[in-house]
Structures are given as structure tokens and as C-alpha cells.
Amino acid sequence: MSVLVVGGAGYIGSHVVRLLRESGTDVVVVDDLSNGVPARIGDTTLEQIDISANAAPEALAGVIRREKVDAVIHFAAKKQVGESVERPLFYYQQNIGGLVNVLEAMRRENVTKMIFSSSASVYGAPEDAVVTEDSPTEPINPYGRSKLIGEWILADCERAWGLNWVALRYFNVAGAGWPELGDSVIMNLIPMVLDKLADGAAPRVFGDDYPTPDGTCIRDYVHVKDLAEAHIAALHGLDGQLTHHVFNVGTGRGSSVTEVIESIGRVSGLDTSPLVEGRRAGDPPKLIASADRIREDLGFVAKADLDEIVASAWEAWQAGPRRIEA
């Protein structure tokens, strides 16, 4: 068994690479290193390829042939919501163009197993706080639309040439499975709070007047190592007969922004008293995964609770260049 991990030097991809290699699976990584860090994957074979380039299918097909690849896990994509609103064509070129090129290489080389990184952002701002995979998909930005279109493309390839696929809709991914694999981008709540604390500043809360118990937004935080395990479960699922292709990956439990910031205070021993700012545009008050389908079909259950996620994020942050002295 040999697995091609596209985007394997990134935050989530490198966790999957680590788990696969620990289980004795052969792995080859393709990454353009725009966000990926080679040190994250140690001595794993790395091919630096821009998957959105015209020459990519040829180059990827060469890697698939040489490494005798049986399955592809596709992480490589742009993921900044705000940037996707500013530069929609760039997002479609990167996320859709890249996926199409990976699939074209797979089609040429008769590789039929694919796991695709989708996102809870395909649901947009849903009516119901808890979303199942059958909830309406109404993404509200080009990033979310690029993920939904990706799922449609996979379904079309299934019909046309028998692609066997799973799309995992990630909820709020955080933490680190190993301290050196922490998220190096300051884009989401936990890194943004730690970044403020590293500056000696107060964490920011974007709105405390939402219709939730403490007034701050509720999200479903899932440990990146649990998420990586979900990919392993999906890979095993592709060996059998799957009834579904699309799965939420979350815990089924919600935590508010205030609860996350309090957890960071407990874990770090720092004063995390926040500064409340106005609402950020486009934030749904409450977004929680129904985690039933992935448990029933793939036997996957996320294990880590909020404090464990935060503790691992804190440990990874302290191992990095902006260590916070108490």
C-alpha cells in the first residue's frame, strides 16, 4: 500500500503523514511548499510540484507510476475565507484547478481511491446549529463554494470512471498531535489568542451579543490528531463498500469563544481576560457537527476534549519561535 499525500507538508497533512508512516504505510508527499514545511515530514519522499500548473497532471502521473501509488489524500488548497472573497478566481484556479489536475493524473494511472479535504464552510450560515451531512449546503464565500464544487467533481468522476472517494467536512481544527507539527499560521481563534498573549495584549472576542448562553459564538473544535485518525478510518473505508461519501468530522459538542479563551487561561496559567470587539462579518452564532454518520459508517469517534486540544496547542506554541514567558 502506497499513499500519495498532496499537501502533506502542511498542518493537517503532516499529521496524516506521521500516522501513516507509524503504521508502516509507504508515503510520498507532493507539496508546493507555499505553506508547507519540509521539516514536518522528516525523511518522507517529497516532490515539490505546483498542482495548479498546466504541467501538473504529467508530473503527478509520473510520481504515481514511480511510487506505485494506490490511494491519494488531497489536502493542498488555499483556505483563507477573506482572501477568497477578494480573489475568487485565484481560489477557483488553485482549489478547483489543483483538484482537477490531481484527478486527471489519477485517471491516467488508474488510481481510484481519493480522500478529499472538505469543510464545514459548505453549510454556510445554517438555520440549525447542529448540521448533518444532509443539511442544506449553501456556502457564503468562494472558499466554501470551492470545497462544495470539489465534492461535485468527485461525484462526477465516480459516475464517469469509477472514482472511489470520501470527502471529510472538517469543523474547527486545532491543537497539535506532536509539538513540532503545530499550526504555524495565525488565522483561527486559538492561534490568534496565543498571538495576542505573546504580544502581551488581551485576546479579542468578536462579539458577545449572539443568541448563545454566554453571548459568544459556538463552534465544534476537533483535535488535529483525531482529524488525522479520521483520514485513516476513511482510507480503510475505501477498501470496502461505502454507503456514503461525505462525512462531517467534529465532536458533536460545541464550545463558545469565551470557553476557549478560559481554557487557554487554565492551561497556560496566564491572565486571558479578553477585550470584546464588534461582531465579525459572516460568523454564524452556532455551528456544531452531527458526528453520527462517521461513527456509524467508519467507526470514528473524536477523543480529545477542549482542554486537551488547547493544552496541545499551547505546548506546540511554546516549542515555537514566540514562546510566552509567564
Could you tell me which of 82, 72, 143 has the C-alpha nearest to residue 103? 72
Residue 143 catalytic? yes
Contact (Cβ atoms closer than 8 angstroms) between residue 65 and residue 109: yes
Active-site pick, 11, 91, 123, 143: 143
Residue 113 vs 219, nearer CB to ligand WQD: 219
At 144, give phi and psi (nearest 5°). Answer: -60, -40
| Residue 31 contacts residue 101 (beta carbons within 8 Å) | no
Smallest distance, ligand WQD to C-beta of residue 140, A: 9
Residues numbered 97 to 136 that lie near ligand WQD (CB under 6 A) are 119, 121
By beta-carbon proximity to ligand WQD, the closer residue of 119 and 164 is 119
For residue 146, give Cα distances in angstroms to 181, 185, 273: 26, 21, 37
Least spacing, CB of residue 228 vs ligand WQD, in Å: 15
DSSP three-state, residue 167: strand
DSSP state of 92: I
Cβ proximity to ligand WQD: between 57 and 150 the closer is: 150
Site map (CB under 6 A) of ligand WQD, residues 49-88, x = contact: ------------------------------x-x-------
The neighbouring-strand residues paired with 26 are: 2
d(CA 129, CA 284): 9
Under rule CB under 6 A, which residues in 234-263 are in contact with ligand WQD? Answer: 257
Nearer to ligand WQD, 130 or 192 (CB): 192
230 touching ligand WQD, by CB under 6 A:
no
Buried b / exposed e across 27-46, counting CB within 10 Å, b at 16+?
bbbbbbeebbeeebbeebeb
Residue 28, classed as helix, strand or coil, is strand
Nearest alpha-carbon partner for 287 in 259, 250, 245: 250
Shortest spacing between CB 135 and ligand WQD, in angstroms? 15
Which residue, 283 or 307, is less far from ligand WQD as judged by CB?
283
Report the run of H or E that residue 258 belongs to, with start and end.
helix 257-268
Q: Which of 97-105, 187-195, 296-304, 311-319 is the region at the interface with ligand WQD (rule: CB under 6 A)?
A: 187-195
Q: How far is the CB of 241 from ligand WQD (least distance, A)?
A: 30
* Contacts of 87 by beta carbon, 8 Å cutoff, 6+ apart: none
Separation between Cα atoms, residue 266 and residue 269, nearest integer Å: 5
Site for ligand WQD in 278-317 (CB under 6 A): 280, 283
CB of 205 to ligand WQD, least distance (A): 4
Q: Write down the least CB distance from residue 313 to ligand WQD, Å.
A: 12
Given the complex with ligand WQD, which of 189 and 316 has the nearer CB atom? 189
| Residues engaged in binding ligand WQD (CB under 6 A) | 79, 81, 119, 121, 172, 188-189, 192, 204-206, 217, 219, 257, 280, 283
Any idea which residues carry the catalytic annotation?
Answer: 143
